Amino acid sequence: MEKEIICKREIIKIDHQNKKVVIDEIAIEYPLTIFVDNEEFATLVCSPSHVEKLVLGFLASEGIIRIKADVKALQIDEDKGFAYVHLHQPIGDKKEFVSKRFIGSCCGKSRQFYFYNDVKTAKTILSSMTISAAQCFQLMEMLHEASSAFKRTGGIHHAALCSKEGLIKTFSDIGRHNALDKLYGFCLNENISLNDKIIAFSGRISSEVVLKVSKIGCGILLSKSAPTNLALQLAEDLNITTVGFIRENKMNIYTHSNRITK
């Protein structure tokens, strides 16, 4: 059974000249330390739900594993906030390059901003699937309707794996990157084919978000929020369609617009 990601707290609320004590709902922030083969690897600050999927997706995103079968064993100590991962193959020098910047020789292309492990794990998307503008609006509306934790707290992001027809699975987290890692872990766990899938997302489209979408393997990213310039450069390079500001029957198509039809 998944842990609750929202708690209740007594607060003082001021509205114009009125002041009163009320019970408010607050997003839970949970530190999770990951050990790989008995060595401390990373600490994530996250929402305490779908933790196993978060660990799988995070390790895949960092280039430590490629598929679920690379993991020999995975145990979660929820009370202490520890995840213990044992791999079939030693981690080797992969940890050394997790946060090390890679300077490429591609003369101004955005890929010079990748980290070393991103060079190995980011995928150029080859999918030729298309989706209509009406379907984009529909999927974002479905994501909004599924985002009850955000409506209750205002402090939680959501990421959904979608088909053209609707949401397949939605994950929530205080960190937008964590929500995508949970989604990635779900895809690895279920061995899902991604050529015809879409990601609907509540957060800003940053370069890190585009890289995670690339690693997951989806060619279309939908968001209600804004992109950054580096994110769009990466999306151009990686053949990812990015659509932002999807609100009130309006949207901006930033890259690879050929996948969005009327």
pLDDT in tens, 225-241: 999 999 999 999 999 99
Alpha carbon distance 162, 54 (integer Å): 18
pLDDT in tens, 44-94: 999 999 999 999 999 999 999 999 999 999 999 999 999 999 999 988 766
The overall average pLDDT reported for the chain is 90
* Strand partners for 33: 43, 82
pLDDT band for 193, please (50, 70, 90 cuts). very high
pLDDT band for 139, please (50, 70, 90 cuts). very high
Query: Is-above-0.85 flag for pTM?
Result: yes
**Could you write out the three-class secondary structure of the chain?**
CCCCCEEEEEEEEEECCEEEEEEEEEECCEEEEEEECCEEEEEEEECCCCHHHHHHHHHHHCCCCCCHHHEEEEEEECCCCEEEEEECCCCCCCHHHCCCECCCCCCCCHHHHCEHHHHHHCCCCCCCCCEEHHHHHHHHHHHHHHCHHHHHHCCCEEEEEECCCCEEEEEEECCHHHHHHHHHHHHHHHCCCCCCCEEEECCCECHHHHHHHHHHCCCEEEECCCECHHHHHHHHHHCCEEEEEEECCEEEEEECHHHEEC
Contact 198, 164 (CB under 8 A): yes
Alpha carbon distance 173, 159 (integer Å): 9
What is the pLDDT at residue 179? 96
Contact 123, 217 (CB under 8 A): yes
Alpha carbon distance 246, 96 (integer Å): 39
Catalytic residue among 46, 107, 136, 187: 107
pLDDT band for 262, please (50, 70, 90 cuts). confident
The pLDDT of 154-181, averaged and rounded, is: 95
What is the pLDDT at residue 135? 97
Is 136 one of the annotated active-site residues of the chain? no
